[in-house]
Structure 1
Amino acid sequence: MILWSILLGLFACIVIGMPISFGLAAICLFIFFYADYGLTTLVSQAVNGLDSFPLLAIPLFILVGEVMSSGGIAKRLVRLASAMVGFVAGGLGQVTVLTSMFFGGISGSAVADASAVGSMMINPMKQHGYSGPRATAIVVAASVVGIIIPPSIPMILFGVVTGTSISQLFMAGIVPGVLITIGLAMATYLQSKKTGAAQPFDFQELLAALKDSVLALLLPIIIVGGILSGVFTPTESAAVALLYALGVSMFVYRSLSLKGFFELCISTGRLTGVVLLLLAFASVLAWLLTANLVPQQIVVMLAELSQNKYVILGVLMLFLLIVGFFMDLTPAMVILAPLMTPVVVKLGIDPVYFGVMMSFILGIGLITPPVGTVLYVGCGVGKVSLEDLVKSLMPYYLTLILLLIAFLAFPGLVLWYK
């Protein structure tokens, strides 16, 4: 009864356009009154949901991405990517994909990735013969890498709401992130033979770009290397990365002022507030589901469907893919991860593997209509219509689905470190 009340409530919120965080609050209040729970429990569960040290990593990584974009670090990464792959067919498209991997290795956000890389790469691609929709499609598709390559904000959310090791999630994201980058680069290459290379290969320019961007490249090495070596936690790595990015942007590149940094803090605070409000009420919802044994009921229901855990995993993946069409990644993650993870664990599926797959599938939802957040960011940055952009994204949708099937068929690609 509670599960159906929640699902119907969420559906109603989506239909009427109510923000999901407000909808979750209304659903929780309704259930608490209907089931005669004390409201003190609601407040305590909401506060407990936010009382988590790893959550500090989210605003810090968001701010790192903002500083990187405004402080000159992103431009140097673009120059390096251009020197590395600009000579390949469809060179600027390849540069865009590689830059997204570099940027995602610092910001952990697909939206930040699409916005920053798109503002730098779409116009140059247009000037080299790419149509507006195709140039924007490359940027939008490549942004998915940003939430798989560590650090990853969706993986931090998954780790917080399910109790899964964030360090292991980050480690598991490395190989899939690289494979997604290669897959998107190949798709761009096959479509871009007529476009030609952006520039001939210049070894001297490669050395100069590498020298110019060495401080920028140290940032993802500090983040990932520090976590994997055990020097600091993901949250501590975010703080170290922010201090490093500020130091480089303000005192070495001298492209970010103190006033500009305060403005970035304000925009980061607004975005963080939305995420934390959503997480607070999602924590209440997770408590309600657990208290009413909903995960156990789902296990029984799925067991009646099939005894094969891979069939059940495939059904869950298909469900998440459909959810991604209609719900943004953050609310889908904080609502569904606590519900589905106990189910897959009882089936013998590694929660780290499921966390990476869930992040990837919901990441695909970010670039699909009708609710794809990154899709609309791309339309704004690239100044193209939604219909034209979706048409240009078709080869990339196919590429991402094929990669998803590969990760399902070969779990070792995700759990490579075990």
Structure 2
Amino acid sequence: MSATDWILIAGFLFALLSGLPVVFALGIASILGLLITDIDLIVLAQRVVAGSQVFSLLAIPGFILTGNLMMHGGLSKRLVALCQVLVRRMVGGLGIVTVMAATFFAAISGSAPATTAAIGGIMIPEMEKRGWKKDFSTALATASGPIGQMIPPSIPMIIWGIIAEESISDLFLAGIIPGILIALGLMMVSYFKARKDDISPETGCLEKGALRATLRDSKWALAAPLIILGGIYGGIFTPTEASAFGVVYATFVGLLVHRELDIREIGSIVSASMCTTAMVCSIIAVASAFGWLIAMERLPERLAAAILSVSDNKILILLMINLLLLFVGAIMDNIAAMIILGQVLITIGAQLGIDPIHLGAIVVINFAIGMATPPFGYSLFVGASISGLKVEQVSNALWPMLGVMIFVLMLVTYVPWITLALPQLLN
């Protein structure tokens, strides 16, 4: 490795470990890299601007705002109510409700922290009231949130599509089956936990017409993902246009249908969404400058060659990639990590003959697991803040769920059909 490589990597890690936000750590490392290579600092500004001027990035603020509007407009509450009517009388019913509701909401928000906040805020107190341990309830909401990273409209899938120059629609499809498999696995964890702790299911007969009434009340929430995703795959609009339609739809339903969205709240909701968008897009923009420097130094090719020199066994190399991504995802922002490691992974994938869509799904699922993994998972912090527990307490209850997620990751890695079946079927 050259001196510039060491400056870039060591500068970034030192700034990150010093407690600086990721965007500043990336910026400082980029400035040091430019100085040592004697490149004019104006290049940093040029690369930051270039990194932010990608049309597909416009989908990100739209989907973030859509998720926040739907959460405040009562749609998440109605999804939970529908799931409760359907399965709460099963063993582990409330745990299953949490996972089902998170999966439905994931198809609206595309964000792990937003899904954990929307569903956890409702279900953690409800599960505790019904005899579930608070740490398990919080861990379940935390682990369910990352389903939002996999199921469309997944924001990380959009970013990977931009990095790898692959179809965002195909990447959306690639995440559906893995997301469903993880949801089913988390439901099984809830079932066995309820059996172990002798938590009785809800009793009493379902009131006549209750299911029909709940379905009628939640029809607007159920229609949201169908309209948005149906519009994308039906060729009616692009993912970016779909995000804008989602904002209009969420505002209409919240204000005029459910009437739970106060027009005076819209300003604060937009402001909060803008803050999240600014954080995401600033990381993307600065990371693109950092990534350009790394590419200029040919670090991706050299790292890829080093990894491939260890073994020519595809199974072993894929295992090494997963271990690397799981580690990075647990300590670093997943968007920045995708941009920094993107070219390395794309180069390795091309040499191994891995389908780019399959590779994208592997990367996104790894980083989705990182959202719930200690010590720095965003969903973990959201879950802990909602429940009032310490991060350590939630982390101790997370291990069975992380085991399920890693098992599905291994299936996805070594059985490409799981991610490629839907894109191939619909293309």
TM-score (norm. length: structure 1) = 0.96
1:202-213 equivalent positions in 2, closer than 5 A: 202=206, 204-213=209-218
Task: Report the equivalent of 1:348.
Answer: 353
Give runs of aligned pairs for residues 226-237 of structure 1, distance below 5 A.
226-237=231-242
CA contact 1:97–1:138 (8 Å) conserved in 2: yes
Does the Cα contact within 8 Å between 2:304 and 2:344 map onto a contact in 1?
Answer: no
1:402 matched to 2:407? The reply is: yes
Alignment of 1:45-56 (within 5 A): 45-56=47-58
Matched residue, 1:253: 258
Which ranges in structure 2 are unaligned for 5 or more consecutive residues?
none
In structure 2, the residue matched to 1:312 is 317
- CA shift at 1:200, angstroms? 4.9
Partner SS for 2:421: coil
Check whether the contact 2:12–2:28 (CA below 8 A) recurs between aligned residues: no
Aligned to 1:89: 91
Q: Deviations over 1:169-223 (max 9, x none)?
A: 0011111111111111111111112212235563732221111111111100012
Cα distance 1:207–1:53, how it changes in 2: closer, same or farther (>3 A)? same
- Aligned identity (percent) is 36
Say which of 11, 19, 33 aligns to 2:21: 19
Instruction: Note if contact 2:9-2:29 (Cα within 8 Å) is conserved in structure 1.
Output: no
- For residues 200 and 33 of structure 1, what CA distance do their matches in structure 2 show? 71
Counterpart Cα distance in 2 of 1:213 and 1:403: 30
In the aligned structure 2, how far is the partner of 1:289 from the partner of 1:31? 9
Larger CA deviation: 178-187 vs 197-206: 197-206
Q: Offset at 1:381?
A: 0.4
The SS at the match of 1:89 is: coil
Please report how far the alpha carbon of residue 10 of structure 1 lies from its aligned counterpart in structure 2 after TM superposition. Answer: 2.4
Partner of 2:101: 99
Give runs of aligned pairs for residues 169-208 of structure 1, distance below 5 A: 169-193=171-195, 194-200=198-204, 202=206, 204-208=209-213
Residue of structure 1 equivalent to 2:150: 148
2:401 corresponds to which letter in structure 1?
A: Y
Which one of 141, 146, 168 corresponds to residue 139 of structure 1? Answer: 141
Match of 2:297 in 1: 292
Amino acid at match of 1:48: A
Give yes or no for contact 2:69–2:251 (8 Å, CA) kept in 1: yes
In the other structure, the counterpart of 1:65 is 67
- How many Å separate the matches in 1 of 2:57 and 2:343? 16
1:187 alignment partner AA: V
SS at match of 2:199: coil
Distance between the aligned counterparts of 1:287 and 1:199, measured in 2?
60
Query: Contact conserved, 2:301 with 2:344, CA < 8 A, in 1?
Result: no
Runs of 4+ in 1 over 6 A off after TM superposition: none
Distance in structure 2 (CA, Å) of the matches to 1:185 and 1:216:
22
User: Which residue matches 1:78?
Assistant: 80
Q: Which moved more, 1:2-11 or 1:186-195?
A: 2-11
CA distance in 2, matches of 1:200, 1:311: 53
Larger displacement relative to structure 2 (374-383 or 2-11): 2-11
> What's the offset of the Cα at 1:388?
2.0
Structure 2 counterpart of 1:158, one-letter code: W
1:370 to 365, 375, 384: 375
Q: Does 2:324 correspond to 1:322?
A: no
Q: Which amino acid aligns with 2:351?
A: K
1:348 and 1:4, CA in 2 relative to 1: closer, same or farther beyond 3 A?
farther
Aligned partners of 1:128, 1:185: CA distance in 2, in Å?
Answer: 17
The Cα shift of 1:63 comes to: 0.7
The answer to whether the 8 Å contact 2:7/2:32 transfers is no
Quick one: distance in 2 between partners of 1:275 and 1:393?
26
The change in CA–CA distance for 1:3 and 1:85 in structure 2 (over 3 A counts) is: farther
From 88, 101, 119, give the equivalent of 2:121.
119
Q: Distance in 1 between matches of 2:87 and 2:9?
A: 47
Give the whole-Å Cα distance in 2 for the aligned partners of 1:323 and 1:332. Answer: 7
Figure out how many residues of one structure are paired with residues of the other and give that number. 418
**Structure 1 residues 199 and 290: CA distance shift in structure 2, 3 A:** farther
Question: How far has the Cα of 1:39 moved from its partner?
Answer: 2.6
What amino acid maps onto 2:263 in structure 1? L
**Aligned residues of 1:150 and 1:224 also touching (Cα < 8 A):** yes
- Specify the alignment match of 2:249 in structure 1: 244
* SS of alignment partner, residue 150 of structure 1: coil
Aligned amino acid, residue 122 of structure 1: I
Deviation of the 1:311 alpha carbon: 1.9
Tell me if the contact between 1:227 and 1:234 (Cα under 8 Å) persists in the aligned partners.
yes
For the residue of structure 2 that corresponds to 1:125, the secondary structure is helix
**C-alpha displacement of 1:90:** 1.3
**Contact 1:149/1:170 (8 A) holds in 2:** yes
2:308–2:348 contact (8 Å) kept in structure 1: no
Q: 1: CA distance between counterparts of 2:90 and 2:263?
A: 40
Alpha-carbon separation, structure 2, partners of 1:197 and 1:205? 18
User: 1:25–1:199: structure 2 CA closer, same or farther, 3 Å change rule?
Assistant: farther
Structure 1: gaps of 5 or more residues = none
What does residue 132 of structure 2 align with? Answer: 130
Q: CA 1:115 to 1:35, structure 2 compared with 1: closer, same or farther past 3 Å?
A: same
